[in-house]
Amino acid sequence: MKKIGILNHHISHVISTMGHNDMLAIGDCGLPIPDETQRIDLALIKNLPRFIDTLKAILLELEVEEVFIANETVEVSNDTFEEIKKEIGDVTITLISHEELKDKLKKCKAVVRTGEQTPYANIILKSGVVF
């Protein structure tokens, strides 16, 4: 049995196979996930698991050099945006439209669907390198 880190084998596998510039998304329960992108569905009930808790867990294992966040997150769910900024530290934030974010999901290795019901609680993490 795995002793530390992410226990979900789907998320663990995706992270362990990611290379530089590969992308992984975390989304609220309403984010439309393209058919061609792997869906890792964690949603249980309303707000479980939470988006921010899922982000925190993934950030423990994934080296991130840039994140993509929708402008709408800043405008509509600013508290979520502030929580994201706190968790990612000095990682570059690129703001794009929600439509652009949804289009980028096609290029992600996977989308982790949470139970979050805060509007626009979505992020794309671009993998960095540890050296």
Binding residue positions? 28, 98, 120-122
- In a 13 Å sphere around the CA of 25, the CA atoms on its Cβ side amount to 31
Q: Is 20 a catalytic residue?
A: yes
The one catalytic residue in 9, 10, 13, 20 is 20
Q: What whole-number distance in Å separates Cα of residue 4 and Cα of residue 92?
A: 28
Check if the beta carbon of residue 31 is closer than 8 Å to that of residue 113: yes
Binding residue positions for substrate? 28, 98, 120-122
- The enclosing H or E element of 43 equals none
Which residues have a catalytic role annotated? 20
